[in-house]
Each structure stands twice: as C-alpha cells, then as structure tokens.
Structure 1
Amino acid sequence: MWCQNIANLSAMAFVVGLLSGCVVGPDFKQPPAPSVTAYTAVPFPDTTTSAPTRWGASQRLVEGRAINPQWWKDLGSGKLNALIIEALQASPTLASTRATLRQAQENYAAKSGWTRYPQAEANITGQRQRFNPGSSGLTGDPREFELFNAGIGLRYNLDLFGRNRRILEALAAEIDYQRFQLAGARLALTSHVASTAISQARFASQIQAMEAILHVQEEQLELTREKVRLGQAAPEEILTLQTRVEQTRADIPLLLSQLQRSEHLLAVLAGKEPGAAGTPSFSLQDFNLPVALPLIVPSELVRARPDIQAAEALLQKANAEYGVAIANLYPQLNLSANLGSQALSIGGLFGSGSAVWNLAGQLTQPLFNSGLSAEKRAALAAFDAALENYRNIVLESLRNVADVLCDLENDSRRLSAFSVANMASQKALDIMKNRYEMGAADYIELLIAQQQSQKTEMDLIEVQAQRLLNSVAFLVAMGGGMPSSDAP
C-alpha cells in the first residue's frame, strides 16, 4: 500500500512538473530587418562636393566604421565637450528617465519575488472568548478564556501554463524599453546641446556681419545727405537709403533675439538657470567639420537606433501580455501550508501548546467568463498596434537618414556656390578699392561694393553653419553610437 501511494505521488509530481514547464502563447520573434540596401532611390555619392573655404572639405561616407558614443568630440570643440559632460550629469530630463528605469527594474524585482518563490508569513494572534456549553447542548456554566495561536504559512502559485513567466517577460521588456528611452534621451540631449552651440555661433557671426553692413549703409546715407546739401543728388535718394538702413537695423534685433534664446537654452540644457553664469559662448571657429562619417546600412540600422530598439521592446512586451491573456484561460493551481501552535497562554505556545497544521491545494478553471476572451482579443489588438508602431518608426528612421544624406550633398553644393560668390564679391570689392584710390570711382560706389560683399558673407556663414548642423544630424540619425551604459 505504501509503495502504491508513493508511486501515485511520484506520478502526480511528474505530471505537475511537466505542466509547470508549459508556456502558452506565442514566443517573441524579432521582426525582420529592412530588405533595402540603400536609403535613397538614386545611388548616393560616397563623397560630397568640396568648396574652397573653411568647413568646405569633402565629407566621405565610410561603411563598417563604428560610431564613437562620444560623437560630439568629432566636432573638435573643447568647450562643447565640457558643456555636454556637464549636461549629462545635471540634466533633469536624464535624471527623470533614469528614475523611471529604476522603477521598471524594481517592479520586475517585486513581481519576480511574488511569482518565482513561495511566500512565507509568520503570524501570532490572541483572542478572549466566552463559551456557553448550552449552545452546543452541553451542561455547565459559561466560561471565558484566552486563546493564542502562532504559526508559519507558506503559499505558492504553481505556474502550470507560464502565466507568471509571461508577466515577468513583459516586465523585462519594459526594462529594456526604459533603457532604450534613456539612451534616446541622452542622444537627444547631446545633439540638442551641439546644435544649439553651432546655431549660437552662427547668430553671433551673422550679427557681426549685419552690424558691418549697417555701418556702411549709415556712412553711405550721410554722404548722400551731404551730396543733396551741395545739390549733387536728388532728395529722394536719402529716403531710399534711409529705408535700407532701417530695414537692416530692424534685422539685427531679430538675430540678437535668436542669439539670446540659444544662450538661455544652452544653460537650461546644462541643468542651470537661464541667467546663471558659466555657460560658454561659441564661435564658428570653435568647430571642425567631421570629414569621415560612419554609414550604417539599413539592415543594421534597426540595432543602432534607440528609438527602433525601444519600439521593439514595446512589441515584445505586447507579445508577452498576449501570452498572459491566453494563460488566464487555463487552470490556476495555488498551494498553501500552515504549521503552528495553539495554547491558552502565550507561554504555552512554545511549550505545552497543541501543534496544528494544514495543507491545501486549490485548482481553478474558468468555465464561463466572456471577459477573459475579450481580454485576449484586446491583448492581440494591442500587439497588432505595437507591430504597426514598430514598422512606422523603422520607416521614419529610414526617411530621416535619407533626408540627412540629401542635405549633406545639397548643402555642400550650396557652400561651393556661395564660396565662389563670396570670392567674386571680394575681388569686386578689391577692384572698386583700386578704382577709388585712383579716383575712377567715388566713395559711395565703394560703400555699395562693401555692402554686397557683407551680404554674400552672411549667406556664406549660414551655409557653413548648416554643414556643421548636418554632420550632427547625420551622426544622430545613425544612432549616435548608442552607448551600453549611461556614463558621460
């Protein structure tokens, strides 16, 4: 008989072990990488157009070269490096994202403790009771007494169909999602600091050029007034020149406002108040143009960009939650055990008390619950939505890279044209200076040539800064090297 019981228990244990190894619902499969081999329909040149000016070097695209996680160092600005390190350490946005990641990690640890291991609880209770024997058909007087209990209870949910494992899988995917969100926030912060610094340098240079234009125009206006006084010019010429002067004067505050906004933004990005001291000012001469740009092919881009990786983590989370919804349709087995002592006094609990124990198992199977089927369909719809969201982010990422590649080439051509125009305007100015010195041109003609030269320089400054901004945009579009840690 004992052998038969042992055999039956062994068989039950074997079956339970097999059942506890089951995990219902589909296992997550990584979406296929993009099948395209290029970002644009027309093959893109490996090198961009060069220009005979500063920041006019030809940039080349290099496949297979790893991106430096500290990609901003390729811009060659020590001030920018220091400011970005400061921002990475003090940014409230990054601090908030780190806290959210810690929250996801602790949520996983908490649920893991509840689902992987038995739960043990110690308890002690005391009560005073009045017992009337007559209520049970017995004789005797009512009596009052204390009853004390102490014990240890164990509870465990046997994960027959993998519900708990799917829950943990969803929480682990949430951790991955928050980790990639942190990488994305880090990339966004560093690119924002770098782009703002370059823009600030551009505004400062353009203000200098605009002030030089205004000075020339004011000088030309004064000379025209003198010519009108001497009867050598018509009065309406003054009005025409005065209109130009005031239009130029009105443009300077607009550029100044943009410069000041960039200064305020740099301070805030570094975790400081807009009026705080210590935020550096930048000039275009602080930066170098990266000439070798690492190019990641489309099939590998999905592993390089944090936004795509985050979308994949959400997809895996939705897949696991769909598995949870399926597992809810299957039986749930809960086991519990209690061992304790019962006595009429506290001291007796650990001496002469009576030992009490119980073992219990509860198997529940939903029979009629239409809500569970609806939850399963809702989870499947959530997975479909996550899948389409992933596909959209991949497409947008490919479009982002394609746009940046086109900007690299088109702006290099613009720089080439503006550099030629700037050299032509400088030669024209030199010729006009020689003519003025020989008496073949008057001073107003010289001032007009100076204005034209300054306006061409304004355009040149803008496209030079844009080439630096395009380089930042390209490195960000490639994922910025997505560091494995959050170290600066």
Structure 2
Amino acid sequence: MKSRHLFPTKISALSTLIFLSACTVGPDFKSPDASTSQHYDQQAEQRLGQGGNKPGEQRIELGKKVGGEWWSAFRSPKLDQVVRRAIDGNLELVAADATIRQAASSVAAAEGALYPQVDFGAQAGRARTHNAKDPSISNFYAIGPRVGFDLDVFGGNKRQVEEQQAFTDLQKHRYEAAYLTLTGDVASQALLVASANAQMRAVEKLLANDAKNLELVRMAHANGSTTQIDVSLAETRLAQDRTLLPPLAQQRDSARHALSVLTGKGPADWIAPDFDLAEFALPSNVPVSLPSEMAHDRPDILQAEAELHMANAAVGVATANLYPHVTLSATLAQAASGNGGAALWGFAAGIAGPIFDGGTLKAERQAAIDGYKATLAGYQQTVITSFGQVADTLQAINHDAEENLAQDDALRAAETSFRLNQQAYAQGENSILQVLEAERAYEQALLGQIRVKTAQYLDTVRLFVALGGNSVGVFDQRVASRDEQKPSYQ
C-alpha cells in the first residue's frame, strides 16, 4: 500500500523536473523589423529610372534584386576568369572558412552540456590502519563510471548554445562580406588597369603631337618667323605632358600587383592579364533592391543582426544565473580493500543557487541588457549607413551620366575643330601649328572621356557592392559544391 502512495509522488516529481527543464528564461530573439523606407534618394531614383535612352546612360530597375554573379554584367571573359581565380585562391576567404569551422566546433562543444556527462574513474593505493586492535597494512582500489547531468532548469546552457550558434552565423556573414569586398576589389582593379592603359595610349599620342609642335616651332624660329618665347612655350608643354605618363604607369602596375595579391599570389608569381576598356560593357539596366529588402541582401547588416542575436542570448545566460542549478549524479564502482570487495553504487540530486553575492549577478544581467541596447543601436546605424552608401552611389551614377554627356559634347566640338583646321590648312588658310593645337585639344578631350567612362564603370561596381552583390549564402553554396566534388566510395 505504501508503494502505491509513493508511485504518484515519483511521477509528480518527475513531471515537475521535465516541466522545469523546458523553461528557458530570458528574452527570445526576434529579428528587427524591416525598414519602412521606400527610397534611397528620390531625385536620383527618378532621374535614373527614366534614363537609358542616350548612349552612356544607365537605367535602374527599382525593386529588382541583384542576381547571379554580378560582375558578369560587364561582359568581360577576362574579368570572369580573374574573379573566379580570386575566389578560389584568396587567403582571407581561406581564413574565414577556417574561422567558421572553428565556430561550428564551439557550437558542438556548447551543445555537449545539454547531455549527461559520463566519465570513468579509477583509484588505487596502499593504507595502514591504526585504530584497529591489530594495526595492518592493506591495498585498496575503486574503479567504475560516473554520470552527471545538469538539468538546465532555467535554460542557461541552452542560451549559451544559442549564443554560439549566433556567433557561427556571424562568422558566415563575415565570410560573405569578405567575398563581396573581394569581388568588388577585383573588378575595380581590373577597370583601373584598363583605364590606365587607355589613358597611356592617349597621352602617348598627345606627346607625339607635342613633339611635332616643338619641331615645327624650332624650324619657324630658325627661319625667323617666331621668337624664342614660342620655342620655350612648346618645350614647356612637352615637358609638362610627359609628367602624365609615370602616374598612369604606377596606377596600372599597382592595380596589377593588387590583382595578384587578391588571387593569393605574389606579384612575381602570377601576373594579371592586360585589360582594355573596349573589353567591358557598361550595364544599361541595373537592378536596385528596395530599402525594405536591404537587411536580407547585405552581409554587414546580417552580421550586425547576428551580433544582436548574441547580445540577446547573453541576456538569457545572465538571467539564468540568477536562478538555482539542479544536477543529478550517479556512480557505479567496484571497490576492494584488503581481502574484501564489493560493488558500490550511488545516486544523488543537488541544487545550488545564489543567496548573497553583493549584487554581482544582477549587475551582470543589467550589463548584458545595456550591451544588447548598444548592439541594437549599432545594428540600426549599420542599416542607415547602407542606405547612405546606396544613395551616394546612385547620385554618383546620375552625375556620371551628366558628365559623360558634357564630355561627349566637348569631344565632338574638339573633333569638329580638328577637322575644320585640317581642311583650312589644306586650302592654305591657316598654319600647321593651328592644326596641331586643334589635334591636341581633341586628344585632351579624348583623355577626359576615358576618365569619365572609368568613373561610370567604377561607380557601377560600387553600386553592386553597396546592394550586397548577391553574396548572402555564398558560403553554404561553397560547402555544397565542395561536398559534391568529394569522391563517393560505395
């Protein structure tokens, strides 16, 4: 009869423990609400939304996301090859990959605390007994397993696992951010190589024209038709224009070296191919996702969200520390002393909780709460900053289009002037110096046009990067691709 009364009591106690085990204190994490903003810069959006009708103009498609490998929009096979090489060989991505795996191992380690801890113990020795009638010396030993289990009644261990999982997400988004930066840098450096090459060719033509001009002025001075001042001016112009080449050569060489480093090689170990602006096509239609979608498209925002998740879990850990810890333990050992031996077992339950700690635990919880608030503000600032970057880039593309139209007008005017001066010289109406001056003006306008086109390309790259470049999820795609390439032994 007595056992019948004990059975419901045991069931009740067990049910209570299970219920308590399911209790996890602290706030559950919820992703911040999406931004209510619908625009980055309405003036730029309106202007670019109606563009694309003239050569060199671009049109944005607001509400459409960047898809696929964004750099392929420039239609350069060389660029595609170098970007793929960089993704495969970049050492920062290799380091980020290893860091993610390290974080995943930390999650597995934290999850271990959710399960019973089983270990094995053994002890042996020799002892002398003094309080017996006949003092004696004997050997003793004990050997057997021990089991311990923290019931995690208030979910402190679960919150620690959650914190580690959020940290792993953080590392994944850092990988995505590194990937995005890498692809943007490769595209930018390739365009700088192409721009430097194009400008150097234009400057070389300009120097050839200056040399012809100087030769003609010297001949005219020898004939007495010009003064030494004219000769000096022609020499000065040639000397000044020669200073244009070294910076362009340095830009080209630095960009090449940067491409080598980005692919995980030294500049002497791998030389990037020469790029030409004619190999690139300026994307006429550029997708631009809505501000409300930005939180899902940019890895730095997702990184800030993961940090917010970690801070939220830290509040849960600090809250759980305010409550008692309930543990269960059991032992089973084979023990012997002297000539006798026995099997020993034991089972125990324990509870430990804070009574007085000088306010330490409450202060730690408040610190965790304040840390969460600071991280939330940082997240919000990251979102706002991303909007500003997109707005700046949209306006840059807008002004690039305006400058491109103005530069085209200047180039056409210089070309017309050059042609008319050639015709006038053929009819004997002006001198060869006037023709050379018109030719020089045309070449300077051509140099300006190259710089404007370079700015258009680079700002387009910056826009793709500011929009996230479809980089979210690339680590998971890389892992899946790597798993598919593993040999199957079946």
Deviation digits for residues 385-407 of structure 1 (CA, Å, limit 9, x no counterpart): 11011011000000011111111
Count of aligned pairs: 473
Q: Conserved in 2, the CA contact under 8 Å of 1:50 and 1:412?
A: no
Q: For residues 38 and 307 of structure 1, do their structure 2 counterparts lie closer, same or farther at Cα, with a shift above 3 Å needed?
A: same
Query: What SS does the aligned partner of 2:124 have?
Result: strand
Following superposition of structure 1 onto structure 2, how do residues 317-396 of structure 1 map, counting pairs within 5 Å?
317-344=310-337, 353-369=341-357, 370-396=359-385
Following superposition of structure 1 onto structure 2, how do residues 234-253 of structure 1 map, counting pairs within 5 Å?
234-253=227-246
Partner of 2:98: 99
| Pairing 1:34–2:22 present | no
Partner of 1:280: 273
Q: Conserved in 1, the CA contact under 8 Å of 2:141 and 2:336?
A: yes
Once structures 1 and 2 are overlaid, which stretch shifts more, 237-246 or 152-161? 237-246
Aligned mates of 1:223, 1:366 — CA distance in 2: 97
Task: Give 1:51 shift.
Answer: 4.4
| Pairing 1:84–2:83 present | yes
Query: What SS does the aligned partner of 1:44 have?
Result: helix
Aligned mates of 1:250, 1:260 — CA distance in 2: 17
Aligned mates of 1:302, 1:467 — CA distance in 2: 26
Task: Give 1:335 shift.
Answer: 1.4
Once structures 1 and 2 are overlaid, which stretch shifts more, 315-324 or 142-151? 142-151
Partner of 1:312: 305
Partner of 1:10: 11
Task: Give 1:49 shift.
Answer: 5.6
Partner of 1:193: 186
Task: Give 1:63 shift.
Answer: 3.7
Aligned mates of 2:189, 2:451 — CA distance in 1: 14
Aligned mates of 1:6, 1:475 — CA distance in 2: 68
Q: Conserved in 1, the CA contact under 8 Å of 2:335 and 2:343?
A: yes
Aligned mates of 2:234, 2:464 — CA distance in 1: 46
Aligned mates of 1:368, 1:461 — CA distance in 2: 74
Q: Conserved in 1, the CA contact under 8 Å of 2:299 and 2:472?
A: no
Aligned mates of 1:344, 1:131 — CA distance in 2: 11
Task: Give 1:277 shift.
Answer: 3.5
Q: Conserved in 2, the CA contact under 8 Å of 1:51 and 1:415?
A: no
RMSD: 1.6
- The amino acid of 2:58's aligned partner reads Q
Q: For residues 64 and 37 of structure 1, do their structure 2 counterparts lie closer, same or farther at Cα, with a shift above 3 Å needed?
A: closer
Aligned mates of 1:276, 1:448 — CA distance in 2: 45
Aligned mates of 1:166, 1:251 — CA distance in 2: 62
Aligned mates of 2:199, 2:53 — CA distance in 1: 23
Q: For residues 483 and 374 of structure 1, do their structure 2 counterparts lie closer, same or farther at Cα, with a shift above 3 Å needed?
A: closer
Task: Give 1:64 shift.
Answer: 4.3
Aligned mates of 1:226, 1:143 — CA distance in 2: 126
Q: Conserved in 1, the CA contact under 8 Å of 2:173 and 2:472?
A: no
Report the TM-score, using the length of structure 2 for normalisation.
0.93
- The amino acid of 2:217's aligned partner reads T
Q: For residues 47 and 195 of structure 1, do their structure 2 counterparts lie closer, same or farther at Cα, with a shift above 3 Å needed?
A: farther
Partner of 1:144: 137
Aligned mates of 1:266, 1:278 — CA distance in 2: 8
- The amino acid of 1:99's aligned partner reads A
| Pairing 1:48–2:24 present | no
Aligned mates of 2:384, 2:228 — CA distance in 1: 62
Aligned mates of 2:173, 2:126 — CA distance in 1: 58
Aligned mates of 1:228, 1:257 — CA distance in 2: 37
Query: What SS does the aligned partner of 2:346 have?
Result: strand
Q: Conserved in 1, the CA contact under 8 Å of 2:220 and 2:226?
A: yes
Deviation digits for residues 405-460 of structure 1 (CA, Å, limit 9, x no counterpart): 11121101111111121111111111111112222221111111111001000110
Aligned mates of 1:278, 1:299 — CA distance in 2: 42
Runs of 4 or more off by more than 6 Å in structure 1? none
Aligned mates of 2:98, 2:194 — CA distance in 1: 34
Deviation digits for residues 266-287 of structure 1 (CA, Å, limit 9, x no counterpart): 1101111012244211110111
Following superposition of structure 1 onto structure 2, how do residues 422-437 of structure 1 map, counting pairs within 5 Å?
422-437=411-426
Aligned mates of 2:472, 2:318 — CA distance in 1: 35
Query: What SS does the aligned partner of 2:23 have?
Result: coil
Query: What SS does the aligned partner of 2:375 have?
Result: helix
Aligned mates of 1:44, 1:181 — CA distance in 2: 34
Task: Give 1:344 shift.
Answer: 4.5
Once structures 1 and 2 are overlaid, which stretch shifts more, 456-465 or 222-231? 222-231
